[in-house]
Structure 1
Amino acid sequence: MKNLLEVKNLCVDYITFTGAIRAVDDVSFCIPENSIFGLAGESGCGKSTIAYAMMRLHRPPAIISGGNILFEGKDVIDFSDEELRKFRWKDTSMVFQSAMNCLNPVKTIEYQFWDIFQAHNAVSSREESIEKSQELLRIVDIPIERLFDYPHQFSGGMRQRVVIAMALALKPKLLIMDEPTTALDVVVQREILQKVYDLKELFGFSVLFITHDLSLMVEFCDQIGVMYSGKLVEVANAKTILREPKHPYTYGLGNSFPTLRGEMQEMKGIPGTPVDLSNLPNGCRFAERCFKSSELCKKQEPALKQQQDNTFTACHMPMNTSSEEDHKEVAHV
């Protein structure tokens, strides 16, 4: 399958008075055409920073300090202002975390669609803009008469669907969704994600889905990358990543939510706190919180390597959930 997007050795720094803090450190992954790639990890691990880098939306003190972002073979980092203007929204669009903050509260939904179409010369008249906007609202199951309402007249779930419709207005090839269901109840979450999946099948675009909720992601994605403290620690198939995690951090994330079936079990979180990016330890960044940690882990940082089952893991001692030894270690977590 042909890759639509390739992120290669991406580094993003935040410049401070005490020096550069690397929020994204040597991250690489690919998103094939017509597929969904998920980025998971706790708050502050660099997920949203990657998304902003892909759209070149960073402003000082953030800078892309290394790597490449190849979209259909062209490096987004080298784009001119005019190339970026065409790239954003037309080739790649983004659904941000808070829909209400993305919508202009003093303009109708119709005007905001018109603004998008007009900026990219996608329509020849206001009437054509209204017609296209109504069709987009139909696609996301919003009555077309609501087109002339203001954002505050919609519920949270409806606002999120309006933002998704706007993101699809110019039929982009890649849709970036950064925590799109934050603050929504679980029923609305599922409705919105199912709608996005149906639209992907209809229009054939790819999706980068960012969330800290691994359980939500496994139902929606084809592949999942797990991040910790600015680095990718595991990349695996969504169907197997929870059942057969290779990195102890992925295992910890998978055990941070209860199962829907079986006996009631006591939940155990990941001990400790994330590392300070301005004062990184030697070796593996997860070592102090890891139940498999050894002296090697504290001295040498593991590289992201391909395993026998075609997953990629940055761990000196990848987990084997079928081994008796790992079962004993897990029992003491």
Structure 2
Amino acid sequence: MKKLIDVKGLCVDYVTFDGRVRAVDDVSFHINQGEILGLAGESGCGKSTVAFSLMRLHRPPALISEGQILFDGQDVLTMEEEELRSYRWKGASMVFQSAMNCLNPLKTIEYQFWDIFEAHDIVSNREESIEKAKELLNIVDIPSERLFDYPHQFSGGMRQRVVIAMALALNPKLLVMDEPTTALDVVVQREILQKIHELKERFGFSILFITHDLSLMVEFCDRIGIMYSGKLVELAPSKEILQKPNHPYTQGLGNSFPTLIGELQEMKGIPGSPLDLNNIPQGCRFAPRCSYVQDKCRQIEPQAEQLASNRWSTCHFHLNALVNSEESAQRNKPEPEYVIQLADVEG
């Protein structure tokens, strides 16, 4: 399968008065044509920073300091302004976090479509823009007569679909979605994701889907990457990542939401707090919160290791090996000796 976008050694720093803070550290992954890749992790782990990097949308104090972002073989980080302008809508487009609030409340939906088409020389006149905008609204199941309404006249889910229609206006090859369903209820979330999946199958674009909700991501994505404190700690097929996690942090995320079927289970959170990026400890970044931590973890930083053709993990021991080792030790543990003392009974 051909790679559409290939991210290599991406590093993003935030420049502060106390020096640089590295928010994304040596992150590498790729997205194939027609594939949905998910990025999951707790708030502040670097997911959105990665998304903004793919679109070259960072502004000071953010700085892409190292790495490559190859889109169809061309490095996005070396593009000139005109190339970048074309890439951002025709090559890749983005649905931002809280996307339904991205619409201009003072302009009709029709005008906002016209603004996109005019900026990229897609149509020659306003009438052509209206026809194309109506087609896009129909694609996301919004009646074309709503085109001349203002954003406040739409529900949250409808505004979300309008933004998705705008993101697809120039038929991009990649759609970056940064927590697009966070502000929506669970029913509307499912409707939006089903519609996006239908559009992906119809038009063949790829998707980078970012969320903190791992259960939602498992249903929607082909592969999932797990980020922790700026690092990509695991990458695996979505059907395997919860059943057989190879990183303790992935296991912790999986245990943080309840299953819909089966017996009731006690929920267990991940102990401790997210890492302070101004004070990164020696060794593994997850070691202070890991229940499987060993001396090596506190001394040596683990490197990404390929476990299978489509699985990567950055853990010295890998969770499956640790769990199997614990179970084996438990099985081989000698049985305790019990001494039963009988009380003397005077007859």
Shared fold (TM-score greater than 0.5)?
yes
Deviations 1:292-318 (A, max 9, x none): 100100010100110146410000010
* Residue 294 of structure 2: aligned partner: 294
Name the counterpart of 1:174: 174
TM-score w.r.t. length of structure 1: 0.96
Moved over 6 A (4+): none
- 1:327 Cα offset (Å): 5.6
* 168 and 310 in structure 1: CA distance in 2 versus 1, 3 angstrom threshold: closer
| C-alpha displacement of 1:321 | 7.8
The whole-number CA distance in structure 2 between the counterparts of 1:68 and 1:133 is: 35
* 1:243 corresponding residue in structure 2: 243
Q: Which residue of 2 aligns with 1:123?
A: 123
Q: Which has the larger radius of gyration?
A: 2
For 1:60-94, what per-residue CA distance to the aligned partner results, in whole angstroms no more than 9, with x for missing partners?
00000000000000000000011111111111000
Cα deviation 1:188-209 (Å, max 9, x = unaligned): 0010001000000000000000
- Superposed, 1:159-308 pairs within 5 Å as 159-308=159-308
The 3-state SS of whatever aligns with 1:240 is helix
User: Does structure 2 conserve the Cα–Cα contact (< 8 Å) formed by 1:245 and 1:321?
Assistant: no
The answer for the alignment partner of 1:155 in structure 2 is 155
CA distance in 2, matches of 1:52, 1:220: 21
SS in 2 for 1:180: coil
**2:29 & 2:247 partners in 1: Cα distance?**
17
- Measured in 1, the distance between the counterparts of 2:323 and 2:47 equals 32
Partner residue in 2 for 1:54 = 54
Distance 1:227 1:145, change over 3 A: same
Cα deviations by residue, 1:27-78 (Å, 9 ceiling, x for unpaired): 0000000110000000000000011011110000000000000000000000
Tell me the C-alpha RMSD between the 2 structures: 1.4
User: Please, which moves more after superposition, 314-323 or 65-74?
Assistant: 314-323
Query: In structure 2, how many angstroms separate the alpha carbons of the residues matched to 1:6 and 1:327?
Result: 39
Query: Is the 8 Å Cα contact of residues 321 and 327 (structure 1) preserved in structure 2?
Result: no
Q: 1:328 to 1:289 in 2, by over 3 A?
A: farther
Give the equivalent residue in structure 2 for 1:31. 31
- In the alignment, structure 2 segments of 5+ residues that lack a partner are 330-347
* Aligned length, in residue pairs: 329
2: CA distance between counterparts of 1:281 and 1:91? Answer: 39
State how far apart, in whole Å, the 1-side matches of 2:282 and 2:309 are.
Answer: 29
1:320 and 1:326 in contact (8 A); partners too: no
Q: CA deviation at 1:124?
A: 1.2
Aligned to 2:117, what secondary structure does the other structure show? helix
Instruction: Identify if the C-alpha distance between structure 1 residues 266 and 256 changes in structure 2 by more than 3 Å, giving closer, same or farther.
Output: same
